[in-house]
Amino acid sequence: MSTLLDRKCCGTCEFWQGSRETTRNGVRCKSSSDEGICGNRKSMQHDKSTKASYHCANKYEQWSQYNS
């Protein structure tokens, strides 16, 4: 995995269902354009594919495994 995400975006959100892993400095994905499905029922993106780097701040909840 090569892209580090350390801000509010889909890749660091609890509801994003893409491939990722936590590191000491943030969340890593293969690429910021990796896609995953949004599982947040309150989001306009629910059940849609979003990129890891997409800014989803209106319904964002930090991933419980991500310790920023």
**Alpha helix stretches (DSSP H) within the chain:** none
pLDDT tens profile 38-54: 999 999 999 999 999 99
| 1 pLDDT higher than 60 | no
In sequence order, the β-bridge partners of residue 21 are 28
C-alpha span between 12 and 66 (Å, rounded)? 7
Amino acid at 39: G
Residue 11 has φ and ψ, to the nearest 5°, of: -65, -20
pLDDT band at 65 (very low <50, low <70, confident <90, very high): confident
C-alpha span between 51 and 68 (Å, rounded)? 20
pLDDT tens profile 10-34: 999 999 999 999 988 889 999 989 9
For residue 46, give both structure tokens: 């629910």
